[in-house]
Amino acid sequence: MKRALIALGILLLVIIVPLVVQNEYLFNLMILICLYSILAHSWNVLGGFCGQISLGHATFFGAGALTFRYLWLSGVSYYVALPAGALSALILASIIGFPSFKMKGHYFAIGTLALAMILLHTVQNLLPGVSFITQECLDQYNLLTIYYLALGVGVATMLAVWALSRSKIGLAMVSIRDDEDAAEAIGINTFKYKVISMSI
């Protein structure tokens, strides 16, 4: 109960502060904190729950951001571009997960790092203007809206991971982390849950 009250107090604080303190640097800093929190929770499902150490997890985060960017620059609303970006990241992670999980341990970690480097250089070479944003889009950029959007997604991600940790899927992932051979022996489809953990 005490923890819940503390969490609620912090949530109310981060909701109210931007309305009182109009500071662009503070907005950008808090948006980055929300984004890194989302990335950390996503990695925690794969690395913390399932015990699979990925060194290229930001690849899927970047794919989602790239999709969001192109849709936004095309005039699509934040509220449509954001789930579309999340969906593209999920699809890419699912596709990559199938061949990646043929490797185990250190081989899997190095394989995901190699994947991240390959995709990074591919995007840089094929899309040299990927960081460019038109003035028209910048004029429509509302920092406060982006902040609350990032905060909402961050809180939703935190709650989703908390719920996952108490679900059958979460327990299956933890069993893989603790002893993959034993998990397979009792009938858990370890490959399926690994792919699910990477997709999340």
The model's pLDDT over 53-104, given as tens digits with 9 standing for 90+, comes to 888 888 888 888 888 888 887 878 878 888 898 899 989 888 888 888 888 8
- Read off the pTM: 0.83
Spell 144-175 as b/e; 16+ CB within 10 A means b. eeebbbbbebbbebeeebeebbeeebbebbbb
DSSP code for 103: S
- pLDDT tops 70 at residue 140: no
Cα-based distances in Å from 121 to 62, 79, 126: 13, 29, 8
